[in-house]
A and B are shown apart, each in its own frame.
Chain A
Amino acid sequence: MEKMPKWADVVLVPIISLLLAAILSAIVIAAIGESPWAALKLMVEGSLGSTYGWGYTLYYATNFMFTGLAVAVAFHARMFNIGGEGQAALGGLGVALVCMFIPFPHWSIALLVAAIAAGLFGAVWAAIPAYLQARRGSHIVITTIMFNFIASALLNFLLIGALKPKGSMEPATGKFPETTHLPTLHDILGVIGIPFSKAAPVNVSFIIAILACVVVWALIWKTRLGLEIRSYGESEPGAKYAGISPFKIIMISMFISGGLAGMMAINNVMGEAERLVLNSVEGAGFIGIAVALMGRSHPFGVFLAAILFGFLYQGGAELALWTSIPRELIIVIQALVILFTGALDNMVRTPLEAVFLSLRKKGA
């Protein structure tokens, strides 16, 4: 018998966790001498109050959708991919190489090829730890952490060396050619006559990210492979008994996971910066963990959680601009969300289950 109804598990538990995180964040804001209420108003105003604000919120949300889906897919196979940061960095490298060295006639072809390159680079970067887990039994969490650092050293090496244009002092590639620049939401909505801020970085990748949510949903719940991934995550001996190869599931799910993380680069590298800079991922790979936990590893949940974190990110930037609250407040909120929805899940769940059980007894 289920201890509590499904809706409570899917909706109530994350919302209570979020509330707890919000209350603690409010206490933190009050403790450093600012008003939590004014801060919230400023955040909402700055991130949702104008199309400019929305443009940034959705731009960040696009990043988090890709990295959140990446973590979620791995979660379904009961693997914890902390390597989103490194995989997204490698995805950026893929995008940069393609955009710099292939002359594209039109942005649409450039986007297609760049997305494949980004996904492939990220996927391969995830496939090495996956292989080591599947064949040599090295713990995927530790190896993906190590691969984050190795990726960062590799990009550092390339950006101050081979990829830097001659005569430049900055550790970054040159600007990508005009034909690889992606249309922004301003351009897209302009076609049908809806005004949208020209300065905001949200671009066509946002639509790709939504498509990715749909594709991942179909993959996990509507295909045979998805069923195999979920059954492996549910129980490894059970899956083995059903003839599912653990090696295949680990490799494929990490390949998809890394590919999704890598594809984030079409948004931040190709869509926004239009060149590859040092530390281009800016922690989005780690936010994917919070997003996947908050969204309960379901693509729709990931979509909502990504928008929530996009709001927090843009709102946090506004706070840092107008008050004495630094941007690091967002990292604290992110930590609290991970803590409550991930590690302290049972703290929220157990009392709730007790409440539902006692309600049911009364009803019977």
Chain B
Amino acid sequence: MESLTILLEVFNSSLRLATPLLLACLAGLFSERAGIFDIGLEGKMLAAAFFSAAIAAVTGSVWIGLLAGIGASLALAGIHGLASITFRGDQLISGVAINFLAAGLTVLIAQSWFQQGGRTPSLGDGARFGPLGSQIFIYVALMTVPASWWVLFRTRFGLRLRAVGENPAAVDTAGVNVVRLRFAAVAICGVLCGIAGAYLSTALQAGFVKDMTAGRGFIALAALIFAKWRPWHALGACFLFGFLQAISLRPDLIEAVIGFKVQVQLLDALPYILTVVILAGFVGSAIPPRAGGAPYVKER
């Protein structure tokens, strides 16, 4: 009986920790399927985490906070789109810049608004999601999986979006606006990252602290590769990585189950190691969308 409760407890905390990973992973899925690499997931989540907590603290309404978080994430997505679609800059460098922009600005603004060493005040009852609200986030994240699958693989928009990530010239020839499609994908990515960030600071925890995403954006990126850019597999990958995070918080449990001690650092590094192994093609090959990373230049 007791082991069942422990199992349920671990399952629950895996699910809670997998939720932001899943949302960010699907965000990356939309962007990368459209041919826009996004290593700025981390930055977008961080900005959303800060702005949702900050605005919720100021207005007292968690819903306005959520909107502000999504807005902040969308603004960064806009910069990424401007740099990588409009000005045909390097998508990876743009992503790096966005991560640093978010890391710096969140602390700078937090210090200026709240003077608490780069954090927001602890959020009270109306300004954060209670247990029920947090549940809703988990369900929303889970529902986003079939929704993404449906949009990407069963709608015309999804077909075009995937095509634009494989062969933008062909899509252009068919009379579809490549730039608009890619911007749409980047915007969807922004919204999903925004929800993920808001979840971190207003549902999983009650307030923003400096660097609170703690590499989750990169784990989501790892999960995306692990899932080979497919929505259902993303669910599996994110749950696995969420599970690894959950058990690294309970080293006593692992010892009880497998009989010897596993280093916490190994568990922390495992998502990254697994991703490298997958990338190296030892467990099937991970082939990204073919036009990923390349700006589209219309022929004249």
The chain A residues found within 8 Å of chain B, CB to CB, are 28, 31-33, 80, 82, 132, 136-139, 141-143, 145-147, 149-150, 153-154, 156-157, 286, 289, 293, 324-326, 328-336, 338-339, 342-347, 350
Contacts and interface: CB of A to CB of B under 8 A. Distances in A.
Contacts of B108: 28, 32, 325-326, 328-329, 332
- Determine which residue in A31, A146, A331 has the highest number of CB atoms from chain B within 10 A of its CB, and name it: A146
A145 B95 CA distance: 12
A147 B118 CA distance: 28
Nearest to B91: A343
Given A28-B108, A339-B101, A346 B88 contact: yes
Contacts of B257: none
A294 to B, nearest CB: 12
A59 B111 CA distance: 28
Contacts of B143: none
Nearest to A320: B111
A141 B103 contact: no
B60 to A, nearest CB: 23
Interface residues of B, number: 49
B112 A339 contact: no
The 7 closest A-B pairs by CB, nearest first: A331-B104, A343-B94, A335-B100, A332-B104, A138-B279, A153-B269, A342-B93
Interface in B152-186: none
Contacts of B82: 344
Contacts of B286: 138
Contacts of A154: 265, 269
A331 B103 contact: yes
Contacts of A149: 215, 218, 268-269, 272
Interface in B268-300: 268-269, 272-273, 275-276, 279-281, 285-286, 288
B94 to A, nearest CB: 4
A77 to B, nearest CB: 15
22 contacts: A32-B111, A80-B93, A136-B281, A138-B276, A138-B279, A141-B39, A142-B222, A143-B279, A146-B275, A147-B272, A153-B268, A324-B111, A328-B104, A328-B105, A331-B100, A334-B100, A334-B104, A335-B101, A338-B96, A339-B101, A342-B97, A344-B87
Q: For the complex, would chain A's binding face be called helix, strand, loop or mixed by DSSP majority?
A: helix
Contact of A32 (B96, B109, B266, B272): B109
A153 B96 contact: no
Contacts of A28: 105, 108
Contacts of A142: 221-222, 225, 275, 279
Contacts, number: 152
B92 interface: yes
A346 B111 contact: no
Given A331-B104, A343-B90, A289 B96 contact: yes
A335 B98 contact: yes
Contacts of B279: 132, 136, 138-139, 142-143, 146
B161 to A, nearest CB: 21
B49 to A, nearest CB: 15
A87 B285 CA distance: 26
A277 B144 CA distance: 43
B139 to A, nearest CB: 30
Given A137-B281, A138-B279, A145 B104 contact: no
B151 interface: no
B90 A146 contact: no
A339 B96 CA distance: 8
A331 B281 CA distance: 36
A339 B79 contact: yes
